[in-house]
Structure 1
């Protein structure tokens, strides 16, 4: 947690009483919790500056979790003590998952995939639900064309896989060294990062793509690759471009959705969704984990282990 905004040095490990679940909630003993860029934005004050974080004496970190149900509150019927679960904390004022225990609404929790370790399973909730909802917002059906920026990243890679599963053709934009990776994820076409993005995409999809998911926050250059009347899905509201040529620009806002998360977990177990590798860091070395994520260049996820 943090009491003030700043660099990794403001992060603190504190002792607090073990929480208890209320009505409709479960207590999860944390086995692993991913570090996401939104955790860095919480710690450095960017979320507060953007009006997304209410003033508080302390701020909690951690969205993703994989672990075991330790206790259940009244009116919880779908989970029992001992169940292996994954979940998403999406209420920023509530204690986060970078802890030994976390309380979540039962509707934010799903059975964990059984074919991967808890450290890998912990990478699914935030990027999985983000990728899934982003693809849904495009409205694309089988045969449609989709530009995915940041295709080698966590969200972009899952978008490619989910799009392949639904028959959507994808143009993947990533670094030149990432072509093999994004093609394994299901990319139909590959375009290396370039200052002439729109022209490069229109070379492979004449007239422009039907939709864009801008995981890399490319903004206007990615929008220029979109056909008239197409859909642009932005993941960061302040950087969403203005609509042009009758395009529709929408901002994806992730939310905890245990039912959909359970379906994504099942896709992992069915071998239809491959999660990125996980690099583990002890919880007490959370500052090092933040530095690792901030440094970029990752081809996997950083996961804290209590």
Structure 2
């Protein structure tokens, strides 16, 4: 089968489409015939070697690329009863140190990292859900705010930010969305009550004009750090979504990083919400595996709304 791998770190040009042996599922695992794989920033930093240099993955001769997947169950390992051959599924590969990722014709995942695909959605749309949706969900869980509390979402029109706005609104949180000026209509449609343009010279002051005293919490998908922290009230909560992006916990603010983990049960809940129309699945464009390098170039240079998706 074909798969995209990296043998040496670098720019998009190091992505190599190769022929590899068909992987076999072990106990508790499922093999998926890939219909679509989401292209995420973590794929780019893996490819570049940034994660290896940061000590988040061990050096290896071949590194698989891709976390998000949607497809059809192709084979079951021993002990798997939750899925059946031919079933449409979504899943998340959260282990970095592997020879194969989801940029492939087939991928083997642990059964507890998978869920049924959203009803009524194409598999290309479904492939945009796992990493972005779970990151937003786990960030909100870390904030641990009650219904009626206020939350700032930076990068609210982006992939993770959009899910965070929708999921926060579904929890009864009141959302301040920070995004580009031309994204106001989008983020309000996703559920934001207030809007602040990201070009505002003093983001914290702008947020506090809407929410006097500061918001109860913030999810910082735009990696603004202390600029967003200043919008949070004393002893509030703040969650960053990337390594080394969490600011110093000033003013008694509880600060955390969300370290994403696969969670099939949570993914099933997200899939059901998407199937019911409560979560928006946004595909920026679809490309073939052969164009993985071009997809990475666009990921780093284009202003995307939604995810690029690779299809075998």
> In which range does the TM-score fall when normalised by the shorter chain?
over 0.9
Aligned-partner Cα distance in 1 for 2:114–2:301 = 31
How far apart are residue 277 of structure 1 and its match? 2.7
Contact 2:245 2:257 in 1 (8 A): no
The partner residue of 1:186 within 185, 191, 198 is 191
- Runs ≥4 residues deviating over 6 A: none
Mapped pair 1:283 → 2:305: no
Contact between 1:31 and 1:68, CA under 8 Å: does it hold in 2? yes
Tell me if 1:220 matches 2:226: yes
Q: Does 1:263 align with 2:289?
A: no
In 2, Cα distance between equivalents of 1:255 and 1:18: 25
Query: Match for residue 272 of structure 1?
Result: 278
Matches within 5 A, 1:97-112: 97-112=102-117
Q: Structure 1: how far apart are the matches of 2:122 and 2:243?
A: 33
In structure 1, what is the equivalent of residue 165 of structure 2? 160
Where structure 1 has 5 or more consecutive residues not aligned to the other structure, the ranges are none
Q: Which residue of 1 aligns with 2:24?
A: 20
The CA distance in 1 between the partners of 2:297 and 2:258, in whole Å, is 27
Deviation at 1:299, TM superposition (A): 1.2
Q: Matched residues in 1 for 2:290 and 2:302: separation?
A: 21
Match of 1:5 among 9, 12, 35: 9
1:49-88 equivalent positions in 2, closer than 5 A: 49-88=53-92
Q: TM-score, normalised by structure 2?
A: 0.97
Distance 2:218 2:164 in 1: 11
Count of residue pairs brought into register by the alignment: 306
5+ long unaligned stretches in structure 2: none
Which residue of 1 is the match for residue 135 of structure 2? 130
Give the match for residue 251 of structure 2. 245
Q: Which residue number in structure 2 is paired with residue 211 of structure 1?
A: 217
Deviations 1:25-67 (A, max 9, x none): 0000000001001100011111111111111011110000000
Q: Distance in 1 between matches of 2:283 and 2:11?
A: 26
Paired with 1:124 and 1:101, the residues of 2 have a C-alpha distance of: 19
User: TM-score scaled by structure 1?
Assistant: 0.99
Distance 1:87 1:239 in 2: 26
Instruction: Provide Cα deviations, 1:254-303, integer angstroms capped at 9, x if missing partner.
Output: 11101110010000111111111341001011110101111131112100
2:301 matches 1:299: no
The match for 1:172 is: 177
